[in-house]
Structure 1
Amino acid sequence: MTSPASGSTTGWTWRLHGPDGTVLDPSDLDVDVPVEEAQGEAESWLGEHWRTLLERGAASASLLRGDTVVYGPMGLSAS
């Protein structure tokens, strides 16, 4: 997970999970998960990138605001 440049803990980002539920390091998947200023921006990012994440080994994602899980994990599979 990428930290906000300002050090703020209120940004919105995603925690990625493998098929067994373990937390994945995005750099191991060769992706950069951004920290967004708004929830909608973070959700849009996942909507645009879920297929790539799934192809690279992520099975689910949880939305975080700072260090707090807002929801998830939710599956990335289309079915």
Structure 2
Amino acid sequence: MRPTQWTWTYEDAEGRAVEGEGAVFPTQSDAEVWIGEAWRGLREQGVENAHLWADGAKVYGPLSLRPAD
């Protein structure tokens, strides 16, 4: 069975949860495209890392939102 809800959670540099965009995406691709477009705004809100979830199960993370050197 395929996941039906893809979501992101966020944390600051100390690993504390940061409230952020609570969007729900229908596919992993949609979620990843969104984070690729939204990461700068999230960084401005103090987000350092993001974690991707599918129907409540962690898919991956932490994903650093810092730009590559």
Task: State the identity %.
Answer: 36
Gaps of 5+ in 2: none
- 1:4 is aligned to none
Give the AA of the match of 1:20: E
TM-score (norm 2): 0.87
Which residue, 19, 22, 33 being the options, matches 2:16? 22
- Which is richer in strand? 2
Displacement of 1:33 in angstroms is 3.0
Superposed CA RMSD in Å reads: 1.4
State the TM-score, normalizing by the size of structure 1.
Answer: 0.77
Q: State the number of aligned residues.
A: 66
Give unmatched runs, 5+ long, in structure 1: 1-8, 27-31
